[in-house]
Structure 1
Amino acid sequence: AAFPGVVLVLLAATAAITLLAGAYPAFFLSGFQPLRMLRAATGEGRGKGSLRSALVIFQFIASTVLITGTLLVYYQLRFIQQKKLGFEKEQVVILHDAYGLGNNLLPFKEEMQKAPGVESVAISSYLPVESSRSNTTYSTTPEFRVDNSVNMESWRVDFDYARTMGLELEKGRFFDPAMPSDSFAIVLNATAAKNFGYEADPLGKKVYTIAGDFRAPSGQDDFVGYTVIGVVKDFHFASLRESIGSLGMTIGRSTGSMALRYEAAHSREVLAALENNWRQMAPGQVFSYSFLDDEFARMYESEQRLGKIALIFAFWAIFISCMGLLGLASYVAEQRTKEIGVRKVLGASALDIVGLLSRNFLQLILIAVTIALPLAWYFMRAWLDHFAYRIDLHWWVFALSAGIAICIALLTLGLQSLQAALADPVKSLRRE
């Protein structure tokens, strides 16, 4: 979480330096008559020419790094949005503070199950988003040892949880209200089954944990055992910054939230029924709801903010770089006015003049791109390392960034060089 903040500071600093650097060649130079300056101090002009070239290189380094960063942030966010999560986050509305219903909790659930468009309703405080956390140690025997214990998420859910969240069973079954023994049953995710060593044949195996914060009369920890009745396929119950960990679900009351899966065509009716039933069964209590896909998106607000800021900075860095390049190109074109006039009189075409004026600038841009791409790779690899699930740093993204920077430079140079190439050579020579 700290790294995006550092990136924002670096982006802001880069943009500020780029703006200041661009001000010199873009505004200062274009406002002066360079030939008069050169005639006054030729040696000083060479030194300033080197400085101007260095500033243009720096500006295009910043632009290329920001273009690359913007593209990679966009592709990572798109990867997050399109990745299969192992559960269905769309068309699920979350009713917050469900404990406000008190004894009307189950009647409320029954009423909502009858509402048009509602497919299923589940009561649980634990949702597949980052805020839901309940870590507990389980073991394969009624004692904790390093070789038999697994620290995992322990969620209390109801009988309709798997259906409401769209979880997929890999083995066994989910909880059944017709099975009293399910009070001491557990459903693991695939990672937990593997970590317990139950990957091949988990059904019927036992896992144990301490039953509450107390000790038995013997002075020993009082363990309670749960029988594995099913294994669900791994699903992302936290941010994609983290690898999928071990998870166990047991039947129990957890009244913090209620989740309702609904048909998309009936969203308004479902929300109206939700609010009406709440007003009737929880009068005076605050009615608060959200959508599961919005809760999921909120986990990546910092990345979305980073992407927007990078895009803005990239735009301004490109703009200032182009102005700096334009100022330097104007300077050089003015400096070589006589040479251009002579070449045109001798038969040089406009394309020849454009090539003559652009050649040295393209070398500067290529130097900038050559420096920028390794820097962009380093910073973006460090950023992507904060995600357990991430895109690859494909070469074509860097090629695209370089291509965008070079095309922008060519367009800027082409316009300025073409203007110089189309100038009347007789007027140019007469002025000289």
Structure 2
Amino acid sequence: MKKASNLDQPPTPPKWGDKLIEWFCDPHLQEEVIGDLHERFHLRTKNRGIDKAKNLYIREVISYIRLSTITQKAAGYSSPLFLHPDMIRNYLTIAYRNLIRNKGYSLINIGGFAVGMAVAMLIGLWVWDETSYNKYHRNYHRIAQVLQNQTFDGEVRTWWSQAMQLAPELRSNYGDNFTYVITASWTNDRLLSVGDKVLTKSGNFMEPQISHMLTLHMLEGTREGLKEPNSILLSESVAKAFFGDASPLGQLMKIDHRMDVKVTGVYEDLPANSDFANLGFIAPFDLLVRSDDLEQKVGWGNSWFQTLVQIADNADMDKVSAIIKNAKKKKVTAEEGARFKPELFLHPMSRWHLYSDFENGKNAGGRIEYVWLFGIVGMFVLLLACINFMNLSTARSEKRAKEVGIRKTIGSLRSQLISQFMSESLLVALVAFTLAVVLVWLLLPAFNEVADKKIAIAWTAPSFWMAGIGFTCFTGFLAGSYPALYLSAFNPVKVLKGTFQMGRLATLPRKVLVVVQFTVSVTLIVGTVVVYKQIEFAKNRPVGYSRDGVFSISIKTDEVRKNFTAFRNNLLQTGTIVAISQSESPVTNTWITNSGFVWKGKDPNMQDEVVTMGITHDFGKTISWKIREGRDFSTAFATDSSGFILNEAAVKYMGLQQPIGEVVKAFGREYTIIGVVNDMVMQSIYEPVRPTVFYIDSFNRVGFINVKIHPQVSPKEALEKSEATFKKHFPATPFEYKFADEDFAAKYQAEERIGKLAAVFATLAIFISCLGLFGLASFTAEQRTKEIGIRKVLGASVLNVWGLLSREFVLLVCIAFLTAAPIAYYFLSGWLQNYTYRISLSWWIFALSGAGALLVTLLTVSFQAIKAALANPVKSLRNE
């Protein structure tokens, strides 16, 4: 039996005609109308031919749609049809069908959108956390810290610490301008003990009004509890650590085994995004004064404490700052006032976190720079996702040209078409937003760990959802605006006649957007590499001493200071360590500066300031510092108690040609320089080493024990022996240590964290860009299927086809690189100027970044190019 061919089958009308009837006509009449149209189409095909039948079919479809529109208006629909609820539903149905019909492109669109939104959300949460620092406190806008500028040798330096006498002075002579003026110590670790239970907790000694200045939510007791001379307020977590669920009120405690206090209140833990987040307890400042006999030890020249103020309700921050400007200058001697020019000013709480850097007495920014940086990065990453949507939507515009033409022919206004395409964009944005929220929820723990944050999504806060919906609508509008305007502008006559051509310039906007995408991506790559190299450069900078195997023990009790010698001797006998010493500051930091030094040849008008560190013998041996001239401190020389060892920066600062043997007057006595050591990086790793003087401590100010582990002993064994020896001598004091490497790492921790975040965002930016590139490459390969088939029939190789499809994208990435390089160079050069010790912007950094972007582009495009090149040309040409 003869097999039927396609020619034996009756012709059928275009399926899109039936779809239009379903979309626009009354649902109750759709079946009857479609049947009638098909019957007439078949009759005309037999009598007039298929071409004439199709033309008449199109006209009748349009007539039915117009009639249906008029009928629905007559039925009482006063608004245009596209605004009717049924049509809105139809629009969404069409959008849904388009997404399902083009699953690959939908996945790229929604996936890229979701990732872009997730990045923007994470950055938004980070920025919100940074900008909301300290807003927990009700008096946020009226609280400030008193800072002071002093002039040293022509350079103005800003100090955060003040004399203990400043607060009483401000209360006495400037009291009308303030509600509260408070002296406070610095928040540090202290030993708290209840019976045999001893824990190290962070806290502060403050004057009683602090409980009114700060917003403390009291869970037990009252905020007036600090008025008792030997009282203590505990945070909720500290109270639970000691007393569990029992009430701590009235319980007796000890601070550092020497200050007896009674618990008079418990307050709720302060939030993580607060400068007082670690405030585990508050004790009266007067208790510290009495315990350490500070009234006899400190004066206006000892800037050891903080001064916090809350200005009066009717006062202006700037005006009050100007009023107190000379408050300290009036109290110091005329000579000191003339030499150092101390000037006070108020630094508002609203600027503590983001504007903490000062240069030459003026605020020079701070973390606000990172807030702006990541805010801009977030906007650009979101823009990349929007560009993907625009590119893929316009690239596939030929597929929807007939739809636009039919809609315009039946009377749709351009505004109606724009609404249709915008609704599709909003649907994509809504789905992407849902996925983005899930992504953020999954990634937030890891993000918090990298960013050192405790950010949480406020699921129950209406503001979060309002912001999310608003953000989604804005993103959907941004992404859909260009495709909507572009697609709605098609000429219906040319589209329906089949003469519509996209034109050579039609792809120009897509090319521009691809260039923008990769310009942003390459800039982020270069920035990430530069940040990484700068951190590595600073980390590997010669520090002038050895941190290997060195750990420190903080001295928190007097018994450790008094019995140090016995502990030292016993620990050395274990054979696990090679040296042990004490110092005022940690090995990797210095906290004390002094002035008033006098040496031979000093300019009488010079306002000197040098870093000073009291140490014990063997400090140099402990950290393996390098003696450049002279000798180290030694117990064999009794005169070393009045000896100085200077670093190279101090020798240069003093202008000493032959420093050994020179006499320097300081601390009311004479010291002889016995040695010079190489400069040691003990402050910022990004700044020059400051002039430093080391001397044998005779003021009993040492606060740290420094231990050097024997090179042939494992750290675990050394720590076990050290802890056992420590507990033997100081059973009531916890053995707590910190390795010097860990302390040193803290110096570049902030920059390293920023570098990691930048690397993550740069990677995601490249991923989003590649998603869009993958979609465009897929569309290009699909569009040129027949061309590729002809080329292969004529003998083109896979390599030829791959080059054909890849050439355009490679060119676009190269243009993006040439655009990104000068932009990155300009901004990164400015960023590096903030560091005295910095890398140079070498050409290879830009070349490596550009090569990386090019390689990723080739890998992305090659999949589709090779797939198209390997396709069977018979399949692509069989319909020709």
- Whether contact under 8 Å (2:580, 2:706) holds in the other structure is yes
Q: 1:224 to 1:102 in 2, by over 3 A?
A: closer
More deviation, 263-272/295-304:
263-272
Classify 1:351/1:35 alpha carbon distance in 2 versus 1 (closer, same or farther; 3 Å): farther
Larger CA deviation: 393-402 vs 19-28 = 19-28
Q: Distance in 2 between matches of 1:12 and 1:44?
A: 38
* 1:113 counterpart = 2:572: yes
CA contact (8 A) 2:392 2:772 kept: no
Residue 217 of structure 1 aligns with which residue? none
2:525 is matched with which residue?
67
Q: Please report how far the alpha carbon of residue 88 of structure 1 lies from its aligned counterpart in structure 2 after TM superposition.
A: 0.2
1:88 is matched with: 546
Checking the alignment, whether the CA contact within 8 Å between 1:70 and 1:310 is kept in structure 2 is yes
Structure 1 equivalent of residue 652 of structure 2 = 194
Report the Cα offset of residue 228 of structure 1.
1.0
Q: How far apart in 1 are the matches of 2:771 and 2:573?
A: 65
CA contact (8 A) 1:57 1:368 kept: yes
Alignment-derived partner of residue 625 in structure 2: 167
Is 1:78 the counterpart of 2:525? The answer is: no
How far has the Cα of 1:61 moved from its partner? 1.7
Match of 1:249 in 2: 694
Q: Identify the match of residue 797 of structure 2 among 321, 343, 349.
A: 349
Supply the distance in 1 between the matched residues of 2:860 and 2:833 (Cα, whole angstroms). 36
Per-residue deviation, 1:37: 3.2
Deviation for aligned residue 1:250: 1.0
Residue 599 of structure 2, aligned match among 140, 143, 156? 140
Moved more, 414-423 or 155-164: 414-423
State which drifts further: 301-310 or 151-160: 301-310
Change (3 A) 1:43 1:379: farther
Q: CA deviation at 1:369?
A: 0.7
SS at match of 1:150: coil
User: Which residue in 2 is equivalent to 1:380?
Assistant: 828
Letter in 2 for 1:18: V
- Which residue of 1 is the match for residue 435 of structure 2? none
8 Å CA contact 1:19, 1:320 repeated in 2 = no
Equivalent position SS for 2:670: strand
Per the alignment, residue 715 of structure 2 pairs with 267
For 1:371 and 1:36, the matched residues in 2 are separated by: 33
Amino acid at match of 1:295: D
Question: In structure 2, the residue corresponding to 1:362 is in which secondary structure?
Answer: helix
Q: Where does the alignment leave 5 or more consecutive residues of structure 2 unmatched?
A: 1-356, 358-364, 406-489, 491-499
Q: Secondary structure at the match of 2:610?
A: strand
Q: Does 1:324 align with 2:772?
A: yes
User: Cα distance, 1:45 vs. partner?
Assistant: 8.3
Task: Summarize the Cα distance change of 1:205–1:22 in structure 2 as closer, same or farther, 3 Å threshold.
Answer: same
* 1:57 matches 2:420: no
On the 8 A contact 1:236/1:244 being kept in 2, the answer is: yes
Please give the secondary structure, in 2, of the residue aligned with 1:108.
Answer: helix
Q: CA offset at residue 38 of structure 1?
A: 5.2
Q: Is 1:125–1:256's contact at 8 Å kept on the other side of the alignment?
A: yes
Following the alignment from structure 1 to structure 2, what is the Cα–Cα distance between the partners of residues 410 and 8?
34
| Shift in CA distance, 5/297, structure 1 to aligned 2, threshold 3 Å | farther
Gapped regions of structure 1 (runs ≥ 5): 212-222
Deviation at 1:24, TM superposition (A): 4.8
- For residues 587 and 561 of structure 2, what CA distance do their matches in structure 1 show? 24
**Superposed displacement of residue 337, structure 1:** 3.0
1:254 counterpart letter in structure 2 = R
Q: Secondary structure at the match of 2:806?
A: helix
Q: Secondary structure at the match of 1:300?
A: helix
**In the aligned structure 1, how far is the partner of 2:645 from the partner of 2:397?**
78
- After TM superposition, the structure 1 = structure 2 runs for residues 150-161 of structure 1, keeping only pairs within 5 Å, are 150-161=608-619
SS in 1 for 2:609: strand
CA RMSD in angstroms, aligned pairs only: 2.8
Secondary structure at 2:547 match in 1: coil
1:263 partner amino acid: H
1:61–1:33 Cα change, 3 Å: closer
Q: Does 1:407 align with 2:855?
A: yes
Does residue 292 in structure 1 map to residue 755 in structure 2?
Answer: no
Q: Is the contact between residue 395 and residue 776 of structure 2 (CA under 8 Å) also seen in structure 1? A: no
Q: Which range moved further: 31-40 or 237-246?
A: 31-40
TM-score (norm: length of structure 2): 0.44
| Offset of residue 117 of structure 1 | 1.6
Asked if structure 2 preserves the Cα contact closer than 8 Å seen for 1:99 and 1:105, the reply is no
Rounded Cα–Cα distance in structure 1 between residues aligned with 2:401 and 2:873:
21
Structure 1 partner of 2:661: 204
Matched, 1:176 2:651: no
Superposition pairs for residues 335-346 of structure 1, below 5 Å? 335-346=783-794
Q: Is 2:240 the counterpart of 1:240?
A: no
Residues 90-130 of structure 1 show CA distances to partners (whole Å, capped at 9, x for unaligned) of 10010112544142122222222222221000111223424
Q: 1:109 & 1:135 partners in 2: Cα distance?
A: 28
Name whichever of 282-291 and 39-48 sits farther off.
39-48
- Deviation per CA, 1:239-258, whole angstroms, max 9, x where unpaired? 21110110111111332100
AA partner of residue 636 (structure 2): A
C-alpha deviation, 1:141, in angstroms: 5.4
TM-score (norm 1): 0.87
1:36 pairs with 394, 399, 410, which one? 399
Distance 1:425 1:342 in 2: 7
Which of these two proteins has the greater Rg computed from alpha carbons? 2
Give the equivalent residue in structure 1 for 2:381.
18
- For residue 3 of structure 1, report the CA deviation from its aligned partner: 5.5
SS in 2 for 1:154: strand
- State whether residues 788 and 801 of structure 2, in contact with CA within 8 Å, keep that contact through their aligned partners in structure 1: yes
Change (3 A) 1:4 1:428: farther
Which residue of the partner structure matches residue 229 of structure 1? 674
Q: 1:405, 1:291 → 2: CA distance?
A: 40
Rounded Cα–Cα distance in structure 2 between residues aligned with 1:202 and 1:45? 82
C-alpha deviations, 1:325-354, integer Å up to 9, x for none? 111222222333333333333333332222
Q: Distance in 2 between matches of 1:167 and 1:143?
A: 28
Amino acid at match of 2:571: M
SS at match of 1:241: coil
Label 1:197 to 1:21 Cα distance change in 2 as closer, same or farther (>3 A).
closer
Q: Provide the C-alpha distance between the structure 2 equivalents of 1:159 and 1:110, rounded to a whole number of angstroms.
A: 13
CA distance in 2, matches of 1:273, 1:168: 29
Q: Tell me how far apart the structure 2 counterparts of residues 378 and 24 of structure 1 sit (CA, whole Å).
A: 25
Tell me how far 1:307 sits from its aligned partner: 2.2
Contact persistence 2:539–2:748 (CA under 8 A): no
User: What SS class does the counterpart of residue 181 from structure 1 fall into?
Assistant: helix
Q: Residue 313 and residue 46 in structure 1: after superposition, are their counterparts in 2 closer, same or farther (change >3 A)?
A: farther
